[in-house]
Amino acid sequence: MNEITAQHRIAHEPYYRPVADEVALFEAAYGAQMPVMLKGPTGCGKTRFVEHMAWRLGKPLVTVACNEDMTASDLVGRFLLDASGTRWQDGPLTFAARHGAICYLDEVVEARQDTTVVIHPLTDNRRVLPLEKKGELLRAHPDFHLVISYNPGYQSLMKDLKQSTKQRFGALDFSYPDHAVEVEIVAHEAGVDARTADKLVSIAERARNLKGHGLDEGISTRMLVHAGSLIAQGVAPVPACQMALVRPITDDPDMRDALDAAVTTFF
Ligand code: ADP
């Protein structure tokens, strides 16, 4: 990664339906150079929101899907061997800090804590990143902004962000939108009519009540968009819902029956 390319620039406005005052709050946090944590379950619009905000602010976006095998070097960079010798390659975090991009670390809690701490000097008023192997102290570009996502449902004692990490961020809560807003999102994204979207959202609301009673996570907006997209492709609503809403989230026969019943109540 050496220069900002078209892939980092968001040319067209990503559709994002605001749910509360998150757009204004994010803009204020950006202006104040305050790193932002987006908290909420999977599939409720966090990634779309960051893409929209990068477009709105006219900044490039660098996204990193975090995982437990990720090392600090994966974020910061490393020396590579090539025909002409060794060459330093910036990792995505360094790249974003150098060029003034928004860096989105998705599901940061998946990374090990010794990896996560590399963001610390970037997230206080020093705004620096020590590249120890390279012997460089990188000062972050004024436009650089760090955003992380965090799903409070997945945490265990073994796997959580340190308080010293959390306290560096301002946090915005994301959850499933209100009924009418979610209907609007599903209709727009899947290309189905409002009546169909309304039924899909109603099924999800029933299923979300089962969270913690046999379901680990509720049916997300993303899954509703999937179901709607199948319907828009000509699939009948019941098999579309079974494929996109029910089968992915549970293997338990009783839970499947309960969810299938919710589907047939509305379709
Ligand atoms: P997350 O990052 O929270 O896991 P995403 O941002 O990928 O979730 O959202 C999943 C999908 O749900 C998006 O691709 C989009 O179609 C839809 N979506 C959810 N919330 C919104 C919203 N507020 N505005 C527009 N689309 C949304």
Instruction: For 100, list phi and psi in degrees, rounded to 5.
Output: 75, 40
Expressed in angstroms and rounded, the spacing between residue 129 Cα and the centre of ligand 1 is 31
Instruction: Indicate the range of 31-45, 108-122, 154-168 predicted with least confidence.
Output: 154-168
Percentage of the chain modeled with pLDDT above 90: 80
> What CA–CA distance (Å, rounded) separates 117 from 121?
8
Among protein residues, the one whose CA lies closest to atom 27 of ligand 1: 45
pLDDT tens column, 156-190: 556 778 888 899 999 999 999 999 999 999 999 99
pLDDT tens column, 78-111: 999 988 889 999 999 999 999 999 999 999 888 8
Among protein residues, the one whose CA lies closest to atom 1 of ligand 1: 43
Decide which of 182 and 217 is more confident. 182
Among protein residues, the one whose CA lies closest to atom 11 of ligand 1: 222
pLDDT, residue 162, reads 85
Which residue carries 């944590």 as its tokens? 37
Q: What is the best residue among 38, 44, 150 to mutate for testing ligand 1's pocket, by most ligand atoms within 8 Å of CB? A: 44
Expressed in angstroms and rounded, the spacing between residue 172 Cα and the centre of ligand 1 is 15
Q: Kindly give the pairing relationship between strand 102-106 and strand 145-150.
A: parallel
> What CA–CA distance (Å, rounded) separates 104 from 94?
12
> What CA–CA distance (Å, rounded) separates 25 from 131?
32
pLDDT tens column, 218-248: 899 999 999 999 999 999 999 999 999 999 9
Whole-angstrom Cα Rg for the chain: 21
Q: What is the best residue among 10, 46, 175, 185 to mutate for testing ligand 1's pocket, by most ligand atoms within 8 Å of CB? A: 185
Indicate whether residue 45 lines ligand 1 (CB < 6 A).
yes
| Single pTM value for the model | 0.94
Per DSSP, what are the bridge partners of residue 137?
A: 130
Is pLDDT at 195 greater than 70 in this prediction? yes
Indicate whether residue 60 lines ligand 1 (CB < 6 A).
no
pLDDT, residue 95, reads 97
